[in-house]
Structure 1
Amino acid sequence: MNANIYSEKCIASIRKHLDRSGHKYITYPKFIFLCGKGFCSQAEYTQSNRGITDDFIRRLLPDTHIVLSERMWEDGFDNSIDLLIFEEFLAEVSDAIILFVESPGSFCELGAFAYADALFSDKLIIVMDEEYRGSKSFIATGPVLKAREDGSKIVYADIENGALLSSSEFRTEILDLVQKLKSKRAQINKRTVNKDKNQVYISSFLIEILEIIRLVQPISSSDLVQLYKDIKQFDEFTLVKRDGNKFKREIKFNYILKLLQTAKIIEIEGSVIKLPNYEKTQHLMLKYFGNGIERERNRIICRKYRYGEHL
């Protein structure tokens, strides 16, 4: 990292604006993780339960980012993380999970989410086919019952004929979810400010990283991590789930960048990261008054020009 640009004086100036609050309510960005039957083409997805629900939610809440593990998964992840842990990462950073139990893969996802120590229970909506209503099958009395007892919402629909159109209870759940995501004081929008290097909550870390990009962009991914540590005065840090527990496998920084890039929140050219719609960024870690953040950014940009960093 260029010490002439990110000098101790520069970092100290940013650090003076660290917010002392314990938590804040963040309404952007919002991620909804849709799980269900796989698809082979965009046309097939558009006609699927996930595709129809995707379109319905975006109409009600245009700034929502729909997360599909298929579009996030890359062969390069295979050596460092398995698909179930990768989906656990996506579920952790998402504000809501909607699972259509309609294929062998989605039955596996149901079991994984249902037995994840109730970690996802308050943001999980499980959509079961009508044939399971009142059923005594293993699915109904096992993972579905466990999820319900932990607080997940269970709704029934004629999945083969379009869950959203066939089930008023499912539509009601979606409308209720949208209202919660819009609310500035809904529990679902509460984020803890990271202050302990051994417990850096990943959902809060994501917001804090966007704050830094907004302030100093363009910036390389390696400089971004180092600047985060310098501002926080962390030598290292550990990303954790919202219950404070570590992930079973290391969640690498490039997974987070991939999520933000796929959602088109950031742009990455080579190793350089930019935040095009920076005006949407909300502040969790830093607190500037008036045009203070613009003055800070102008000073940093001037130093980048002065010391020859590519802009």
Structure 2
Amino acid sequence: MAENTYSSVTETIFSDLNHSNFSVNFSTPPIIFVCGGPMIQVAASVRERVFAYFAKDTTSNITDHLIAAEDFKDYFKDGAYDDLMEFEDDIASISTLVVIFLESAGSLVELGLFCNRIELKDRLIVFVPAEELEAKEDNEPAYSSFIYLGAIQSLKRRNDTSVMIYPWANTESITYDELEFVVSDIKDKLGKVKKTDKFDVKNSGHMSYLIHDIIRLCEPIKLSEIEMALICLEIDYPTRNITKCLYLLEKFKLVSPYEYSGSKYYYVNDESLSKIKFGKSRKGKVLDAPNLKMEIRSSFNPVFMKTEDEKEIEIAKKRFNALKRIVQIRKANDKSI
């Protein structure tokens, strides 16, 4: 039951939506999750060379969208995650493209984790060292033949652009003749990635993007209110999973928290960015996001409030003041870019 006008308006809106009509936008902005060898020093791995290449590449802004698991050293913060594999699995789900360089024990684990994910079959590219597929001696099988015959072959059958084999870089040399081809393969794969997916409530990446758009429509919004929006959509999603989604969205700079008077609100960093196409409502209408957003904001604007309940007026004023500050923060961030 709605506690105030804001809750009543948002619950009415989401109760009329049907998540089976939703679709997900993966292309803007792209998130490229890159797994592989160490990156501590120059030429330490092919992955390090690729990051360094894109950092100097003036023809694209891909460097801004490259993500390594090491970027999330606090993934266990606030109890968001306690399992590294679960964490990496969720990053893959939210990513536009997953790139694996088979050059470390960890990357082999990641290959095993991702290779059987059907939803990743067109969003996964694996780079394999040619040397690992060659026999060490005439009577000795290739060191990694079990990988090639298993996961790698399975990937190639599903999508022949998912596996690329190259001679590997020498860590004692800065030069790597194949680097330009590796980079080109990544760009080509990114360009061919399917731009949209049908929404799947079981996909954590899809749920993260849905939560992003709930925030976009209803900001500033509290965690409990996000939960209620999902309930109205008839989606049963535990609080802990919502917290994980919020952690990832914050790390990818898609949403931010703002605390005001003991409450933590969430808002989107870019109001123009939409990740979900809601499709037709249960009443057969297409969602008019700008008008609905205006309706939601009017519900806690003191100028338009009709209630005389002092507690509700106080809550609305706090939310309204939080929004004014959020607008200022966004403007300041836009100027600094």
TM-score, normalisation: structure 2: 0.68
Letter of the 1:8 counterpart: S
| Distance change in 2, residues 1:52/1:300 (3 Å) | farther
Counterparts of 1:47 and 1:36, CA distance in 2? 6
> Residues of 1 paired with 2:42 and 2:269: CA distance?
26
Give the C-alpha shift of residue 213 in structure 1: 0.9
- The aligned amino acid for 1:166 is E
| CA shift for structure 1 position 259 | 1.3
Q: Is the contact between residue 23 and residue 197 of structure 2 (CA under 8 Å) also seen in structure 1?
A: yes
Q: Output the CA distance in 2 between the equivalents of 1:163 and 1:93.
A: 33
- Aligned partner (choices 252, 266, 290) of residue 273 of structure 1: 266
Gap change, CA 1:295 and 1:108, over 3 Å in 2: closer
For residues 85 and 100 of structure 1, the distance between their equivalents in structure 2, rounded to whole angstroms, comes to 20
> Is residue 201 from structure 1 mapped to residue 211 from structure 2 by the alignment?
no
Aligned to 1:298: 297
Residues 1:285 and 2:286 are matched in the alignment = no
Distance 1:227 1:18 in 2: 12
Cα deviation, residue 9, structure 1: 4.4
- Partners of 1:296 and 1:280 in 2: how far apart? 19
Range moving further from structure 2, 96-105 or 297-306:
297-306
CA deviation string 1:194-231 (max 9, x = no partner): 5xxxx44323222221211112212222322222322x
SS in 1 for 2:122: helix
Correspondence 1:206-285 to 2 at 5 A: 206-230=208-232, 232-234=233-235, 236-237=236-237, 252-270=241-259, 271-285=264-278
2:177 and 2:256 map into 1 onto residues whose CA distance is: 36
- 2:332 paired residue number: none
Q: Which residue of 1 aligns with 2:144?
A: 139
Question: 2:94 aligned with 1:85, yes or no?
Answer: no
d(CA) in 2 for partners of 1:98, 1:220: 35
1:158 corresponds to? 168
Contact 2:249/2:255 (8 A) holds in 1: yes
CA drift at 1:291: 4.2
Could you tell me which residue of structure 1 aligns to residue 331 of structure 2?
none
Q: Which residue of 2 aligns with 1:96?
A: 97
Encode CA deviations 1:49-71: one digit per residue, 9 max, x unaligned: 35236537895355963332222
Measure, in 1, the Cα distance between the counterparts of 2:266 and 2:42: 28
Structure 1 range deviating more: 152-161 or 275-284: 152-161
Q: CA deviation at 1:274?
A: 1.6
Q: Mark the structure with the bigger radius of gyration.
A: 2
- C-alpha change, 1:89 and 1:58, in structure 2 (3 Å) is farther
Deviation at 1:156?
1.6
**1:190 shift after superposition:** 2.2
Unaligned runs of 5+ in 2: 136-140, 280-285, 306-311, 323-337
| Counterpart AA for 2:294 | R
Counting only pairs closer than 5 Å after superposition, residues 171-182 of structure 1 correspond to structure 2 as 171-181=183-193
Q: C-alpha distance in 2, partners of 1:282/1:204? A: 9
What is the alpha-carbon distance in structure 2 between the residues aligned to residue 84 and residue 277 of structure 1?
A: 30
CA drift at 1:112: 3.3
- Percent identity between matched residues is 17
Question: Would you say how many aligned residue pairs link Structure 1 and Structure 2?
Answer: 287
C-alpha distance in 2 between matches for 1:45 and 1:77: 32
Distance 1:51 1:163, change over 3 A: farther
**Structure 2 equivalent of residue 189 of structure 1:** 195
Change (3 A) 1:7 1:113: closer
Question: Where do 5+ consecutive residues of structure 1 fail to align?
Answer: 182-187, 239-249
Aligned residue runs from structure 1 range 57-136, under 5 A: 60-61=60-61, 65-73=65-73, 74-76=75-77, 81-114=82-115, 116=116, 118=118, 120-132=120-132, 134-135=134-135, 136=141
1:33 aligns with 2:33: yes
- 1:126/1:24 CA distance change after superposition, 3 Å: closer
C-alpha contact 1:26 1:190 (8 A) present in aligned 2: yes
What TM-score do you get using the length of structure 1 for normalisation? 0.73
Alignment partner of 1:6: what SS?
Answer: helix
- Going from structure 1 to structure 2, the CA distance change for 1:93 and 1:296 (only over 3 Å counts) comes to same
Superposition deviation, residue 3 in structure 1: 1.7
Residues 218, 296 of structure 2: 8 Å contact kept: yes
Partners of 2:255 and 2:109 lie apart in 1 by 32
Moved more, 37-46 or 96-105: 37-46
**Distance in structure 2 (CA, Å) of the matches to 1:18 and 1:57:** 43
In angstroms, what is the RMSD of aligned CA positions?
Answer: 3.9
Deviation, structure 1 residue 42: 11
Q: Which one is further off, 129-138 or 168-177?
A: 129-138
